[in-house]
Amino acid sequence: MDSDLRARFLEGMSRAATFVAVATTDGEGGRFGVTISSLTSVSADGDQPSLLACVHHLSLAASAILKNRAFCANLLHEGQQDIADLFAGRAGAGEHSARFGRTDWQPGPLGQPILAGATASFECRLATALLWETHHILVGRVHSVRLSDSPAALLYGQRAYRRAVHLPQGD
Ligand SMILES: Cc1cc2nc3c(=O)[nH]c(=O)nc-3n(C[C@H](O)[C@H](O)[C@H](O)COP(=O)(O)O)c2cc1C
């Protein structure tokens, strides 16, 4: 690929502030979790609500989600940068079991790990998956949503963690 195109793509995308989530999974394929910014709502009006996440094909979490056929998308609270770093392997906890050992969590109704303090946790069954180039596009059907009392989500943009601020209405 043209390296200038790749660099401009990455720079352009870094300007899109996104929320930060941890995709967790548990079951026969093991317990794994990975920090993602690729969580997207797909539909609120199908048989059940649905969402998608893109996870690198080499991530152990991706293969586990494909095997477990279920995952939980934990939308992090703005105070949870440490959890984002932990599940991105930036906090010296490369082993996924160590990641879970260093955060509070409990299994949801489908047995998927719900992280304490997440502003919203969407427990899903895997509906379909598509391997596109380097990433699995994972579509989940949402079975339950756990909401915390604090709605402020952690953001990531221009290569740094951020929080949303309210803009006054223009005249
Ligand atoms: C803010 C942020 C967003 C990320 N978003 C994604 C993503 O959407 N998909 C992905 O595969 N990796 C994403 N990563 C990278 C993974 O978290 C990281 O490569 C992974 O946790 C490494 O551990 P593993 O390979 O053992 O799973 C992101 C990292 C950070 C810090």
Of the residues 22, 24, 37, which should be mutated to test ligand 1's pocket, given the most ligand atoms within 8 Å of the CB?
37
The pLDDT value recorded for residue 38 is 97
Residue that the structure tokens 């043209």 belong to:
2
Mean pLDDT of the chain: 95
For residues 134-158, average pLDDT: 97
CA of 84, closest atom in ligand 1: 31
Q: What is the 3-state secondary structure (H, E, C) of the chain?
A: CCHHHHHHHHHHHHCCCEECEEEEECCCCCCEEEEECCCEEEECCCCCCEEEEEEECCCHHHHHHHHHCEEEEEECECCCHHHHHHHCCCCCCCCHHHHHHCCCEEECCCCCEEECCCCEEEEEEEEEEEEECCEEEEEEEEEEEEECCCCCEEEEECCEEEECCCCCCCC
In the predicted structure, residue 171 carries a pLDDT above the cut 90: no
Of all protein residues, the one whose alpha carbon is nearest to atom 5 of ligand 1 is 36
Query: What pTM, to 2 d.p., does this model score?
Result: 0.96
The 10s digit of each residue's pLDDT in 88-112 is 998 776 688 889 999 999 999 999 9
pLDDT at 52 over 90: yes
Say how many Å lie between the CA of residue 168 and the centre of ligand 1: 34
Mutation choice for ligand 1 from 38, 40, 56, CB with most ligand atoms inside 8 A: 56
Q: Where are the domains of the chain?
A: 11-163
Second-level CATH architecture of 11-163: Roll (2.30)
